[in-house]
Chains A and B, each alone.
Chain A
């Protein structure tokens, strides 16, 4: 929850900037972010749970906690809260700028910088995406950027897809999922960069 302040204020900043930046720039930035997500998706994540010394701020905010793993309950410490929050502001700004949840960046902030275990950081980012997106959605609504004839079919499709997806998730092979995700996101990223550079927006 604490990180959400940084993320939400970043999102508001991003949505504010979005009005002054050309769509081509946004498209190229978006494409680069997607390519980065692809890279992260393909490379995967190393084993986590390396013990780190807790940060003073993390202790103060009681961020050090436990999580369930195959080997039972494991304890983890959180470090570098300051830099982590700074990256959350960046993630929020990008999400406001591009209308995405920027989950990949959030995972990196938590996983790489704050040394939160991957299981915890990925599920936490899932929760944060909605909150971050809601911040910029309010602003887009006021600007008249939300067209119900476009947004509604998208919403229905996404909801149906995510219901099916969460059922399949438990049975699907993680490796296959990762590859499908990486390829899809990579292609979309390349397309966005191409269109941005070709001035198709």
Chain B
């Protein structure tokens, strides 16, 4: 893989991720507006989100059972995943080139990101 190929692959991945996030999120938003329930966000008091919207399995479960807020949160989750995917793609590129120094560096970054998203610490 040349630098150019890696870069264009990363570019495509990023664009697909961003478009997917926007589409999924809009679908959820549209669903929420159609349903009409508490469509107006409550920003006067900060209460925190219901538990099922605060971790990856809960969001996936809510989204696939057709919950509008769950689908919206899934869109946001996809957006958060975009830069993480970028790091994963770079890691792959370094593995292909047998650049072990940068494999270790990139692997550490990816590890931190995945742990943060999966466990919240």
Contact = CB atoms under 8 A, between A and B. Distances in A.
Answer whether A and B are interacting partners: yes
Interface of A: 1-2, 4-5, 8-9, 12, 15-16, 61-62, 127, 130-131, 133-139, 141-153, 155-156, 159
Nearest to B77: A141
B92 interface: no
Residue with the greatest number of chain B CB neighbours at <10 A, chosen from A144, A149, A151, A156 = A149
- Max count, chain A CB within 10 A of own CB: residue among B28, B51, B73, B106: B73
Contact of A148 (B73, B87, B108, B116): B73
Chain A at the B interface: SS class: helix
A159 B22 contact: yes
Q: Is the interface of B mostly helix, strand, loop or mixed?
A: helix
Nearest to A142: B120
Contacts of A143: 48, 54, 120
A5 B107 CA distance: 10
Contact of A141 (B29, B86, B106, B120): B120
Contact of B90 (A1, A137, A151): A1
Interface in B39-93: 39, 41, 43, 48-51, 53-55, 69, 72-73, 75-77, 79-84, 86-87, 90
